[in-house]
Amino acid sequence: MNALPLHIDGGTGVPLTEQIVSQIEAMIRSRRVLAGAKLPSIRQLAAEQRISRFPVIEAYDRLASRGLIQPKHGSGFYVANHVDERDSNAGNCDPRLAEEESNQILQQFNYPGETLKLSSGFIPEAWRDVDGLTQAIRQASRIDVPSVIDYAIPHGDTCLRQQVAMRINALGIDADLPNVMITNGASQALDLVVRYMLKPGDTVFVEDPGYYNLFGLLKLQGVRLVGVPRLANGPDIDVAEELLRQHQPKLFFLNTVFQNPTATNIAPQVAFKLLQLATQHGFSIVEDDIYADFQAVPTQRLASLDQLDRVIYVGGLSKTLSSSLRIGYLAANRELVKNLVDVKVLTSLGGTRFAESVAASLLERGTYRKYLERLRKRVRDSLSSAVQTLEAYGWDVFDEPGGGNFVWAKVPGIDDSSVLVEEAVKFGVTLAPGSYYRPNGEVCAWVRINSAYAGDRRAVRFFEYMTEAATVRA
């Protein structure tokens, strides 16, 4: 085959093997190199790039182990015929949409030795309270032996539900035990709401930009998405009112605090108006407050104004405490919680009793509270540093982030962030295009930056390069 359009730079600090792997993988997944195509030989590629054969050998080995290429004895290396196959009978959604959404989820996961996942939704392992977690795990294993082997109560561990109720009471939400259920992460809470309250063909309002995983879940169920622009102070109320003249949504999904991906907070006047619209037009609001624990001083929640009448409140501990424990929760009126628990039993029997016992212990003993104090400082410092770095290199920031660990940013003069995605690969950086955060994949100039990784030398070099490249384009 002809030479691959690789851009290998020994001066970036990214190992040559990783540069080769990431660029060829991107070409294969984007179909720029088609299934069955023959790749250059090891000797040819090494000669073209003027590098040793060893990084090429290792790169081809890695690509083969991922199922992206196939070696054929005596013939060479070929692009695999079956890359990222998906079940074409997945619910009522277009399988191509399901593939796009699932790819975005998979791109978050970052393993040692691979590219820097700059759009990742996770905080670094080093920031987690691993010592506190392991101590709580040992304690639960000794004291609560049944939790190691038994099913969880469908509603969730009683002690954990009490702790959750106390935490949301502190936000001004009047919730008792019957109002609270534990879920397998906040994602299951959203899934239960969608399964129970929506049917194919129903319309919902979502934020634009917003949470890509939610968009995929709704499409999987055949639900119609209508995007409401997200402003610095919350959803655009004027647009929402105009859209309500055309549509009858059953639900409106939104983030109140540290919205994903803009990291902005809803203003009190916007919250009041949204609740008025919900009453007037008969829809409910799903308030996804997954980033609540990053906030030191609580701001207004819709659920505190509404007291769980039309608002369903969702939260979790996975973003802060542990992604592996998968602890989420939902608070709503008692009848709805009862019905959602029934759906949970039918679809998953229950949660993981051991994980719930560990989480309850961490909250009850104050370990989690002390950890949050340290985490909030690290997040605050990294966010401030990331904004300064981006602005120093001429990037536009959507709005001064209210907190959390995301920055919604763009490069002036570049209207389609897929350009940034392609260029980032050269620096060992993986980005998700802004279109992933839009309800129907519309072109977007913005990208989500995880501030925890923005100080990495690969990220900084990429920020600087894109500013220079945009200047040249202009």
The C-alpha atoms of residue 315 and residue 359 are separated, in whole angstroms, by 14
Q: Return the pLDDT at 472.
A: 63
Q: Which two tokens stand for residue 259?
A: 């919205």
Task: Check if the beta carbon of residue 160 is closer than 8 Å to that of residue 363.
Answer: yes
Instruction: Return the percent helix, strand and coil in the chain, to nearest 5.
Output: 45, 15, 40
Residue type, 14: V
Residues 6+ apart with CB under 8 A from 170: 298
Q: Chunked in runs of 10, what are the mean pLDDT values of the chain (474 residues)?
A: 80 83 88 87 90 88 82 85 48 44 49 75 90 88 79 89 94 95 95 96 97 93 96 96 97 96 95 97 97 92 96 95 91 97 89 89 89 94 95 93 92 93 92 94 95 95 90 62
- Note the residue count of the chain: 474
User: Which class would CATH give 104-127+370-473?
Assistant: alpha beta
Spatial distance between the Cα atoms of 101 and 50, rounded to a whole number of angstroms = 38
pLDDT at 1: 59
CA pair distance 421, 417, nearest whole angstrom: 7
Give CA–CA dist 403/457, Å, rounded. 23
- In the numeric block, the tokens 């602890």 are attached to 327
Q: How many beta carbons lie within 10 A of that of residue 90, not counting itself?
A: 15
pLDDT for residue 142: 82
User: 10 Å Cβ neighbour count for 160?
Assistant: 28
Q: How many CB atoms lie within 10 A of CB 301?
A: 21
Helix (H, G, I), strand (E, B) or coil at 3: coil
Of 270, 261, 266, 248, the closest CA to residue 204 belongs to 248
pLDDT score, position 170: 92
DSSP state of 2: P
CA distance 432 to 412: 18
Residue 97: what pLDDT? 45
Task: Find the radius of gyration of the CA atoms of the chain.
Answer: 24
> What pTM was computed for the model?
0.77
So what's the pLDDT on residue 7?
86
Domain ranges of the chain: 16-79, 104-127+370-473, 130-366
Q: The domain at 130-366 falls in which architecture?
A: 3-Layer(aba) Sandwich (3.40)
Long-range contacts of 461-466 (CB under 8 A, 24+ apart): 461/12, 461/13, 461/427, 462/118, 462/423, 462/424, 462/427, 462/429, 463/389, 463/390, 463/393, 463/395, 464/393, 465/423, 465/426, 465/427, 466/393, 466/395, 466/411, 466/414, 466/420, 466/423
pLDDT at 112: 41
Whether the Cβ atoms of residue 88 and residue 96 lie closer than 8 Å to each other: no
Quick one: fold of 16-79? Arc Repressor Mutant, subunit A (1.10.10)
Q: What is the pLDDT of residue 474?
A: 53
Q: Tell me the backbone φ, ψ of residue 428, rounded to 5 degrees.
A: 75, 30
In single-letter form, the type of residue at position 345 comes to V
